[in-house]
Amino acid sequence: MQAVAPMDLEPEVIDILSKVTTATLTTILLKKGLRNVWLRGTRPIRSGQARLVGRAFTLRFVPAREDLATPESWSSPISTRAAIEDMPAGCIAVVDAMGVQDAGIFGDILCQRMAKRGVTALVTDGVVRDLSGVLGTNLPVWCSGAAAPPSVAGLTFVAWQQPIACGGVAVFPGDVIVADDDGAVLIPAALLKDVLALAPEQERLEAWIMTQVEAGAQLPGLYPPNTQNKARYLKDTGQA
């Protein structure tokens, strides 16, 4: 069984990754051989949300079964309510809702409690309910929309802090999530150090390439840079 990474992230890690776009991260991870790291269906619930970084705290739903998916289940020891009370400050709650679009996994009360506990964000391939109330909590949310029915109308909550599939991506507790306007991207915990080393340089390179494009440069040999342009980049950025 894979070891669970610690749930806290060092401030310098958050600082670095909060300056790196999810688009850049997918490119870096692609070069590492990982193609499936963007969580499908995770769109920001409002425009202008800051790019956020945190360890994944996972929750898992399965299809609704009538004897289990009942309002009474909300008082069970295995419930979303209990899971929220186990969430550490700074985590990102990542919820496997199986992409279900007609049952809201969380509403305003649960999101308010998460905000009070210092949860950084909610990320799910499902939907939320009580949309105006959820927005009012100011909890950053990435999801695929909103629906009025409660979770038990289409889902059964079964576990937290276990491996899940969210948006078609395998997410393990303690993996790192970065979410911005393009959605949410997973960084496997074991690759975090590599990504931290590569990401700032990739951003610097692409920023330099953008200046060249703005000046009228053609793309062949520039993006990606050939040997000549790589040398120009290193010189211009004081790395030569």
200: part of which helix (H) or strand (E)?
A: helix 192-214
Share of the chain above pLDDT 70, in %: 97
Q: Is the pLDDT of residue 25 over 80?
A: yes
Q: Which pLDDT belongs to residue 1?
A: 42
Q: Is the pLDDT of residue 3 over 60?
A: no
Contact between residue 131 and residue 186 where contact means Cβ atoms under 8 Å apart: no
Q: Which pLDDT belongs to residue 66?
A: 85
pLDDT in tens, 136-165: 999 999 999 999 999 999 999 999 999 999
Q: Which pLDDT belongs to residue 6?
A: 56
Give the chain's mean pLDDT.
Answer: 94
> Which band of pLDDT confidence, cut at 50, 70 and 90, is reported for residue 68?
confident
Q: Which pLDDT belongs to residue 8?
A: 85
Q: Is the pLDDT of residue 2 over 60?
A: no
Q: Whole-angstrom Cα distance, residue 150 to residue 104? A: 5
Q: Whole-angstrom Cα distance, residue 53 to residue 37? A: 15
Q: Which pLDDT belongs to residue 71?
A: 79
> Which band of pLDDT confidence, cut at 50, 70 and 90, is reported for residue 193?
very high
pLDDT in tens, 112-127: 999 999 999 999 999 9
Q: Is the pLDDT of residue 63 over 90?
A: yes
Q: Which pLDDT belongs to residue 40?
A: 98
Q: Return the CATH architecture of domain 11-190.
A: 3-Layer(bba) Sandwich (3.50)
24, 62, 175 from 30: Cα distances, Å: 10, 30, 17
Q: What is the CA radius of gyration of the chain?
A: 20
This prediction's pTM? 0.92
